[in-house]
Chains A and B, each alone.
Chain A
Amino acid sequence: MTFRTHTLGWLTAAAASLLLSASLLSVPVSAQEGAHEQPTPARQSWTFAGPFGKFDRAQLQRGFQVYKEVCSNCHSLSIPFRTLAQPGGPEYSEAQIKALAASYKVKDGPNEAGEMFERAGRPSDNFPWAFANEQAAAAALGKSPPEMNLLAKARKYERGFPLFLIDPFIQYQELGPDYIYALLNGYSKADDPNYNDYYPGHKIAMGAPLSDGVVTYTDGSPQTLQQYAKDVASFLYWAAEPSMEARKKMGFRVMVFLIIFAGLLYFTKKKVWADVHGDAVTTH
């Protein structure tokens, strides 16, 4: 009977494919061991993970403080001040942002006399960078530090087989912040300030930027390296994906709508097709 042999065909195929993939995968793993000298960053728990994930405002504000007091000495962050007041972010008040912007000097011009001049920052200005250009930064630091507005999306690490196939289902998107957190905690050699466990090739031009107590929090959060790293990684993820909360919120509505719609269509389809069988379509 066709049913049995047909199923058999599928089964043989499935079995053959399993065998094939198993044999394929067992070989390359060992061949790769040498190339993979960096440990895999550990998965952290983030408030913004998962379908209902949201940023923790206080954490974003602490993360921003870490950025401002430490990272901004070297790294640029090309986003306007005003974004820090937008919904779904650190949500500072308009007044706080005005004051923050005004505390920076911004280059503008040319004016009517044809000269460039400095003025106090406005909320629509981008954060200015500590260096005039990449060459100046590279000359001072050995290498130009990467721009931070997309950094948390511009880094990933190898998940490997079969984890990478599971990731879309468990919605694992936070590879970037996990890597940044690991990197900031990854300075393991006291005698080599430029050795990092997680940086590809280990030789990193950035010495450990954070250590316990370097930033003073006002909300009573622990002033430890781990806490700083977590806060700044969250902040950088927000900076790279400022629309994340709006996206997930809309996503849930779209999903609910589509699932109900699909259900209705399914039952309509069943009803329409109910009178179709081997003989001619019965028309009513």
Chain B
Amino acid sequence: MSGPSTYVPKSALGRWFESRLPIGGLIHSSFVVYPTPKNLNYFWAFGGILSLMLVAQIITGVVLAMHYTPEATMAFSSVENIMRNVNYGWLLRYLHANGASMFFFAVYVHIFRGMFYGSYKAPREVLWILGVIIFLLMMATAFMGYVLPWGQMSFWGATVITNLFSALPGIGEPIVTWLWGGYSVDNPTLNRFFALHYLLPFMIVGVVILHVWALHVTGQNNPAGVEVKSVERDTVPFTPYATIKDAFAMVVFLILYSWFVFYVPNYLGDADNYIVANPLVTPAHIVPEWYFLPFYAILRSIPSKLGGVIAMFGSIAILAFLPWLDTSKIRSGRFRPLFQIFFFGFVIAAMGLGYLGSKPPEGAYVIAGRLLSVYYFAYFLVILPLLGLFETPRTLPATIADDVLAKGGSAILAGAAQAPSTKG
């Protein structure tokens, strides 16, 4: 699907340039003639949405950085200065803070999409692992960004999370001191977090380029999970088909984003972060941002500190092994009746863990957290390996074109399949 481009620019200047640096051909082959399966549904729009959010975070972030002061005694008031005195500063800051949440919302949909339709399976393992790396970088970026406004939750969140490393035997304490640049979270910590918060998004851009490159080598998966057999019959060119569909999805996503930014900008934030950081006063509940809560719940479900840390990082790392843990030959969950039940169970378990992460670790919450954590890991380590061996899948469509014709099953999910079959 990739390879030397047949693109010939119209203008003489364009041809001159193209024979020296074929960037037009790269864009043409990647975003114009690139063949996309014609049965894609709107879950496939989230890749584009994620790119949009990455760009939005970088633009708002760079402008915020022009007004922000990464110094412990001034950070909090510099953010307030942005909110009150910088022209449209409140807009920038609310766009950036809520943008992080939207970014994570989109990445979770994107990941669950991949898990349901088996997008991680051969030949897309490298593509999938690059995605897991992006997810990790995003988490690091957001964690450090949240420290920058230097409110109570910034400070105490940073203290709790960096302290996790102290669980490592022997080297733990020195590592924490090294991370902090001192003996507690303080100005040096804030400074390095700001430097890294500025750097990591650009590393994400780099990995995203690799991710898209890998995608354009293997081609997209699709709701039927059968590979493209005939470019003619099974695919449509990226432009105009995917472009217009993605554009529509992006604008709908922007409506959701704007709702939060303009109407409930502080709903997703913690009230304690409007109190300036104070090392002498510990907040009653130290709770991370919502997008970290499932992992936080797993951390707290394990009675030992080191065990909890291993489980938490393991719960993310395990995603990278998914291509080899799922033994089923069938890609799409649409044709795996048992898998569907366990998969939705997994989605519920992840959301349940998210809820429990926001609750104090006591009584019934702990028991529920442990049960759901067990299910979380069992899904990867027991259910998926065994399911592939015992499950009888439904019959697959022979081709993507057949899938579109047999509207039935895809009608629920597939936007592409709604098209009437009258000849144009």
Contact = CB atoms under 8 A, between A and B. Distances in A.
A150 interface: yes
B271 A154 contact: yes
A199 B36 CA distance: 59
Given A13-B340, A251-B261, 9 more contacts: A1-B408, A5-B394, A13-B345, A35-B360, A150-B275, A250-B262, A262-B248, A275-B419, A278-B421
A133 interface: no
Interface string B320-340: 000000000000001101001
B64 interface: no
A6 B412 contact: yes
B275 A16 contact: no
A250 B409 contact: no
B391 interface: no
B368 interface: yes
B264 A168 contact: yes
A262 B365 contact: no
A100 B247 CA distance: 53
Contact of A16 (B91, B267, B284, B348): B348
Contact of B263 (A150, A240, A251, A265): A251
A259 B241 CA distance: 21
11 contacts: A1-B408, A5-B337, A13-B345, A28-B363, A149-B80, A173-B267, A255-B259, A258-B255, A262-B248, A265-B248, A284-B424
B260 interface: yes
A154 B277 CA distance: 12
Contact of A276 (B83, B343, B419): B419
B252 interface: yes
Contact of A278 (B236, B272, B344, B402): B402
Nearest to B268: A168
A46 to B, nearest CB: 14
Interface of A: 1-3, 5-7, 9-10, 12-14, 16-17, 20-21, 24, 27-28, 31-32, 35, 51, 79, 83, 146-147, 149-150, 153-156, 161, 167-168, 171-173, 175-176, 200, 240, 242-243, 246-248, 250-252, 254-255, 258-259, 261-262, 265-266, 268-269, 272-282, 284
Interface in B272-301: 272, 274-276, 284
Contacts of A5: 337, 394
A106 B252 CA distance: 51
Given A28-B364, A266-B248, A277-B404, A243 B419 contact: no
B423 interface: yes
B195 interface: no
Interface residues of B, number: 72
B241 A247 contact: no
Contacts of A9: 337, 340-341, 344
Nearest to B90: A243
B394 A16 contact: no
A21 B372 CA distance: 11
Interface of B: 38, 80, 83-84, 90-91, 94, 232-233, 236, 240-241, 244-245, 247-248, 251-252, 254-255, 258-267, 271-272, 274-276, 284, 334-335, 337, 340-341, 343-345, 347-348, 352, 355, 359-360, 362-365, 368, 394, 401-402, 404-406, 408-409, 411-412, 416, 419-424
A276 B412 contact: no
B251 A265 contact: yes
A2 B255 contact: no
Contacts of A259: 255
A10 B240 CA distance: 32
Given A161-B355, A262-B255, A3 B411 contact: yes
Pick the most buried of B80, B274, B405: most chain A CB atoms within 10 A of its CB: B274
A275 B412 CA distance: 20
A75 to B, nearest CB: 14
A153 B368 CA distance: 32
Given A6-B334, A31-B364, A258-B251, A156 B401 contact: no
Contacts of A10: 340, 344, 412
Given A2-B334, A247-B265, A248-B262, A16 B344 contact: yes
A5 B338 CA distance: 11
B419 A254 contact: no
8 closest Cβ pairs, A-B complex: A251-B262, A13-B344, A278-B405, A2-B409, A275-B424, A3-B408, A31-B363, A154-B274
Contacts of A147: 276
Given A28-B365, A31-B363, A200-B284, A173 B344 contact: no
A173 B412 CA distance: 35
Nearest to A28: B364
Given A259-B255, A266-B248, A274 B404 contact: no
Contacts of B267: 167-168, 173
A275 B416 CA distance: 11
A242 B406 contact: no
Contacts of A79: 84
A146 B275 CA distance: 9
Contacts of A83: 84
A2 B223 CA distance: 13
Contacts of A14: 344
Contacts of B334: 2, 6
A283 to B, nearest CB: 9
A276 B241 contact: yes
Nearest to A200: B284
Pick the most buried of A171, A246, A251, A269: most chain B CB atoms within 10 A of its CB: A269
Pick the most buried of A167, A246, A276: most chain B CB atoms within 10 A of its CB: A276
Nearest to B230: A280
A154 to B, nearest CB: 4
B383 to A, nearest CB: 14
A172 B267 CA distance: 8
B274 A255 contact: no
Nearest to B240: A272
Nearest to B265: A247
Contact of A282 (B404, B405, B423): B423
